[in-house]
Amino acid sequence: MFDTVQTTNIIPVYIRSFNQNFSHCTFDGRTTLNMALNSSPNTEIFTLDLPPRKSDFQLEVGLPLAGGDKKFIGKVETGFRFKGKEASKKIKQLLGDSAKFDFSPFYNSMDFVFVDGSHAYEYVLKDSESALKMIKPGGVILFHDYNTSWPGVTKALNELFTSNPRFKNLRHISQTSLAILSP
């Protein structure tokens, strides 16, 4: 619970002055709604999540999932917390798998990217690279679930920090599961 409160309080600090925002993983829409409620009136928030699946046999993803990820993708409705709310006018819901999604229309255009998709190592690497391509100079990328019980997230971000010069400014935000990058 502590981290949920911290995440909810930290995101508004970064998003207030940003107009173009992208969120990997809508899930129930809590974080996306928080972004919309704490941003300027002319903000656009693009949020990506897997489309709802019709059965357990309709799970087609582009990369291997982390063991616990499957319980997060079996939802009935994506983004239900923001639907019908006034703030939802700022939100553009996108459906797709981040391993296969064409992010090119968003390259070099985002002020803020929140990465909170799959916790699998391969997905975190892919989502991190996609985020870096989308962020424009002066922008901020915030990663969720760093240094937690999701080893794929921590392993991928630590590896990017040590091996990729574009991630040299990656920092863990103390007492949270967030890491921040301002390339």
pLDDT per position as a tens digit, 44-55: 999 999 877 655
pLDDT tens digits for 67-124?
666 666 666 678 888 999 999 999 999 999 999 999 999 999 999 999 999 999 999 9
Indicate the fold that domain 2-52+62-181 takes in CATH.
Rossmann fold (3.40.50)
Tell me if 59 sits within 8 A of 73, measured CB to CB.
Answer: yes
Which pTM was predicted? 0.87
**What local confidence, expressed as pLDDT, does residue 175 receive?**
87
**What local confidence, expressed as pLDDT, does residue 91 receive?**
96
**Quick one: pLDDT band at residue 35, thresholds 50, 70, 90?**
very high
Q: What's the CA gap between 168 and 126, in Å, rounded?
A: 17
pLDDT exceeding 90 applies to what percent of the chain?
Answer: 64
Dihedral sign (CA 126, 175, 22, 163): negative
Report domain extents, the chain.
2-52+62-181
Does the structure show a pLDDT above 90 at 64?
no
Does the structure show a pLDDT above 60 at 56?
no
**CA distances to 2, 34, 110 from 76, in Å:** 27, 21, 29
**What local confidence, expressed as pLDDT, does residue 89 receive?**
97
**What local confidence, expressed as pLDDT, does residue 1 receive?**
39
More confident call, 21 vs 11: 21
